[in-house]
Amino acid sequence: MNKPEILIIDDEPQIRKLLEIALESSGYKVWQAASGKEGILMAANHPPELILLDLGLPDKGGQEILKELRLWYNRAIIILSVQNSEEDIVLALDNGATDYLSKPFRTGELLARIRSAMRRNQGEDQNTVITCGDLQIDLVARTVKKQAEIIRLTTTEYNLVAFFARNEGKVLTHRLLLKEIWGIGSQEETQYLRVFVAQLRKKIENDPHRPEHIITESGVGYRFN
Amino acid sequence: MRSASGKIWIQYVTGICLVLAVAFACYSFRGVLEYKLTALLLLVTVSVLASIFRILPVLAASVLSALILNFFFIAPFRTFHISTAEDLLLFAMYFVIAPVNAVFTYKIRKTEKKAREKEEKEKTIRLYNTLLNSLSHELKTPISTIIGAADTLRENRAALTPGQTDELFGEIQQAGFRLSKQVANLLNMSRLESGFLELKKDWCEISELVHTVINRLSEEASAHTIHYQEQQDLPLFKIDMVLVEQAVSNIIANALQYTPAGSVITVFATHQENNCVITISDNGPGFPEDKLELVFEKFYRLPDSGTGGTGLGLSIAKGFIESHNGRIVLKNKSGGGAEFTLEIPAETSYINNLKHE
């Protein structure tokens, strides 16, 4: 079987080496680029399944490379950023990044994000019933079951959970959620989001204070597992 | 001296006016005031000027005062002529003493200023040294661990038992986490110091914030109990979640580090007069009363607080809350233990019941 190919664009040789070992030992084929320019060329000559892109590249800003790649490359791009840069992360997600990881990150986390992003590469999930842990979301019957028991949800709560489920494992920015569920363009109205997420957690989480399904990504958005 | 840095012409005008005013007052009371006393009063005036103004305006004022003394107060009046030898001597003495006095006073002031500057410089150097000491210790320990463990793993690979190998890998990992935490602290501090801290306020459910912090600290808290007294129906607050989360986290982490195992940390959040108020208390030994203010100073650590920690956590917490125009109040509870109260002015939103949308 062909190994899935991953392109790493990062100027730090140590990080590239580390990623290379971690990824190759997990069954991926790894290509490396030390600069944005080189990375774009390599991706164009031989499009990989997924690109790991460092946001802090010296030659061109990571955001620029991301935009350039997104003109023609439609598979997963996971960006690597540093701590305290929520703003950059949100911008990168708006610019088309699939997901992000803040350095320093754990290898397990990296592999989980890659698997989740690769799954989404296979195209939109055609399943009409999505299972996430003990939750079962039926997009045709518009029902949500927890351990086979139907949970009563309002329309907005259902829309929210359905949108979350269709983007399982992916980080969703506040702006995107507001636009999708309420059609609100501004980022100012997040209080709706807060209230509905809190309500939804009470209904679908085992312990709403230790959420396992709707995870808060501080300063960025939510992730549904 | 704030006048010393003011515009120089203001000093000339003020000096001349003050001398004129004193001279005028003395002239009005010349019936009861002997001219020798007037000389003394003018001398005092010049001395006062010398203690706040620069040298040239003071000299100008002193020369003016001498001329006025001669012209208006020493007989024969309204001439610069002096008739008796005693008066001539008095005037001569005045003419010398006033400027000399001015120069000396000015010089003393300058020396004092230099001494003060030197002291401040030394204080900065001391602070810098403390920083370097605690920093290099805090960074070197994990770095040594990583290098040492990696060396052992490479060179003694054959002799190590699987258990030892595992342990060394664990050490490397722990050291990495510790380094990462210290670097994050330093970055936060420099964000505060640079003055470029821009708040990104957004609606926040405070109980979610507190639970996030508690969940994240669960590993460090394995020997402690963190109890969150949740108040129902709190509004949403508009704050910078990332910063407030960090502040709460730093204070709880501080309590975890410096209270004995088994201590209970209690968190309570409420809404009081436009403030989001978060109280974090513990039943540990509390803080020495005379150190309550000092603990928020950067790099300050209580004398007997042992190793680990750079003395940055609480000052970062304070900075982040103050950037919201809020404050942190620290006191010792009457029953023992410390209590931090975070008061954060914040917009609120009570859109609780959207349940039927």
Q: What is the C-alpha to C-alpha distance for residues A184 and A178, in angstroms, rounded to an integer?
A: 5
Range of the domain at A204: 129-224
Does residue A174 sit at the B interface (CB-CB below 8 Å)?
yes
Give buried/exposed letters for B245-281 (b at 16+ CB in 10 A, else e). bbbbbbbbbbbbebbeeebebbbbbebeeebbbbbbb
Q: Do A219 and B242 count as a contact with CB atoms less than 8 A apart?
A: yes
Q: What is the C-alpha to C-alpha distance for residues B155 and B149, in angstroms, rounded to an integer?
A: 10
Q: What is the mean pLDDT of residues A168-184?
A: 87
- Write the residue in B184, B215, B357 that is nearest to A155 by C-beta: B357
pLDDT digits (tens, 9 = 90+) for B252-309: 999 998 899 999 999 999 999 889 999 999 998 888 888 888 888 877 777 766 666 6
pLDDT digits (tens, 9 = 90+) for B66-124: 888 888 888 788 888 888 888 888 888 888 888 888 888 888 888 999 999 998 888 87
Number of domains in chain A: 2
The answer, yes or no, to whether residue A123 has pLDDT greater than 80, is: no
Could you report the predicted ipTM of this complex, rounded to two decimals? Answer: 0.79
The percentage of chain A sitting over the pLDDT mark of 70, rounded to a whole number, equals 95
CATH assignment of B202-349, among 3.30.1490.100, 1.10.3720.10, 3.30.565.10, 3.40.50.300: 3.30.565.10
Residues in B closer than 8 angstroms to A177, CB to CB, are none
CATH code for position A174: 1.10.10.10
Peptide bond into B76 cis (omega under 30): yes
Which of B200, B202, B238, B316 to mutate to probe the A interface, most A CBs <10 Å?
Answer: B202
pLDDT digits (tens, 9 = 90+) for B6-33: 578 888 998 899 989 998 888 888 888 8
* Four-residue CA torsion sign, A194, A199, A200, A204: positive
The answer, yes or no, to whether residue B4 has pLDDT greater than 50, is: no
Tell me: do A110 and A133 sit in the same domain: no
Which of B174, B199, B212 to mutate to probe the A interface, most A CBs <10 Å?
Answer: B212
pLDDT digits (tens, 9 = 90+) for B168-227: 999 999 899 888 888 888 888 888 888 778 888 888 989 889 999 999 898 888 999 999
- Write the residue in B180, B236, B355 that is nearest to A194 by C-beta: B236
Residues in A closer than 8 angstroms to B180, CB to CB, are 104
Does residue B264 sit at the A interface (CB-CB below 8 Å)?
no
Q: Where are the domains of chain B?
A: 3-118, 123-194, 202-349
CB-based contacts of B172: which residues, under 8 Å, 6+ apart? B145, B146, B149, B150
pTM, entire model: 0.71
Tell me: do A116 and A9 sit in the same domain: yes
CATH code for position A69: 3.40.50.2300
Fold of B123-194: Helix Hairpins (1.10.287)
Exposed / middle / buried, residue A75 (Cβ in 10 Å: 0-12, 13-18, 19+): middle
Check for a shared fold between B123-194 and B202-349.
no
Tell me: do A98 and A187 sit in the same domain: no
From A97, A121, A145, the end of a domain falls on A121
The answer, yes or no, to whether residue A200 has pLDDT greater than 80, is: yes
The answer, yes or no, to whether residue B3 has pLDDT greater than 60, is: no
Tell me: do A106 and A27 sit in the same domain: yes
Three-state DSSP at A220 gives coil
Contact B287, B249 (CB under 8 A): no
Tell me: do A19 and A102 sit in the same domain: yes
pLDDT tier, A187 (very low <50, low <70, confident <90, very high otherwise):
low
Q: Do A209 and B207 count as a contact with CB atoms less than 8 A apart?
A: yes
What is the pLDDT, as a whole number, of residue B331? 92
Q: What is the dihedral of CA B211, B216, B217, B222, to 10 degrees?
A: 90
Q: Do A191 and B184 count as a contact with CB atoms less than 8 A apart?
A: no
From A102, A121, A140, the end of a domain falls on A121
Does residue B194 sit at the A interface (CB-CB below 8 Å)?
no
